[in-house]
Amino acid sequence: MADLGTVTAAVAGAVGSSVVFHPLDTILTLRQTSVNNKFIIPFSQYWRGVSVSALLSAPAFTVYLVSYRQAKKEFSAQYGKDSAITYTLSGILAELTSSVLWTPMEVIKGRMQLVTGPGIVSTRQTIVQIHKEEKIKGFFRGYWMSLAMYTPTTICYWYAYENMKKYMRKRSNFESGGSTSSQDLSTLQYAAASSFATFASETISNFLDVVKTRQQLAFSAEIKALRPDDSNSLILVAKNLIKEAGVLGALTKGLHLRLLYALPTGVLSMVIVESIKPDIDGDEYGL
């Protein structure tokens, strides 16, 4: 069982990052779906979906972080705490458990972000509309694609993040003559580790993320008007993307915006988490 510190850290990291950088997430969604390629949109649209994002990102990230740290603790006993197998299996388990919450959040949030024009787009109206059109399965549209995309992303992120922390601790110990403990990483070092891991993981998974987003939002009125056959199959979503942007363009579509959103979000969330409840040797991995 995770203690209150781990849960508090996860909630603070998730809510803080999701609210602060929500406008960037909105622009990214619009660019990935090609509904709007402009950076300037009505002010209210920047914040559409922020409520459901803040509400569901907290429990989703809590499940994700607690699952990862608990799995890491268990697998470390069998494979070693610095083993690639430990990081990989822990990341897979974290993604499997948390996607049950991440996917509905992304579907609801994305549908709200796509709506153009003035007026209030309420979370309740969006939920009712999705349920009316697709029933419960509508909230989990793109679930398997999310797993296919986020699992390798998660594995890459945690492998890079954990190894960067290990490298910086060894370097700090060397420079201090061995007097630095494993707890002595600074905020800047945590930020650097998260930046490196985020850049690597987000870049390699960009194409799958665009396809996942388009599949999740294929039944929205905006996407139906733009690409009516996106709702037919995942293969058509991918083909339409490549036809629209070319192979290279499909691989990199919205990547600069994704990094612009993911880098500060990843840094802020992990700095908050590690500041409140660091994942360190000798402390049961923060659990």
Whether residue 281 is predicted with pLDDT greater than 60 in this model: the reply is: no
| Mean pLDDT, residues 99-121 | 87
Going by C-alpha positions, the residue among 182, 162, 161 that lies closest to residue 171 is 182
Q: Where are the domains of the chain?
A: 4-278
Q: How far apart are CA 99 and CA 60, in angstroms?
A: 8
The pLDDT assigned to 11 comes to 77
Q: How far apart are CA 222 and CA 35, in angstroms?
A: 7
Q: What radius of gyration, in Å, describes the C-alpha atoms of the chain?
A: 20
Digit-coded pLDDT (tens) for 153-212: 888 999 999 899 988 888 877 666 655 444 568 889 999 999 999 999 999 999 999 999
Which CATH number is associated with domain 4-278?
1.50.40.10
> Which two tokens mark 87?
């990081």
Looking at residue 185, the DSSP 8-state letter turns out to be -
pLDDT band at 240 (very low <50, low <70, confident <90, very high): very high
Q: Give this prediction's pTM.
A: 0.79
| Mean pLDDT, residues 15-23 | 82
**Is 36 within 8 Å of 12 (Cβ atoms)?**
no
Q: How far apart are CA 160 and CA 196, in angstroms?
A: 7
Q: How far apart are CA 67 and CA 2, in angstroms?
A: 9
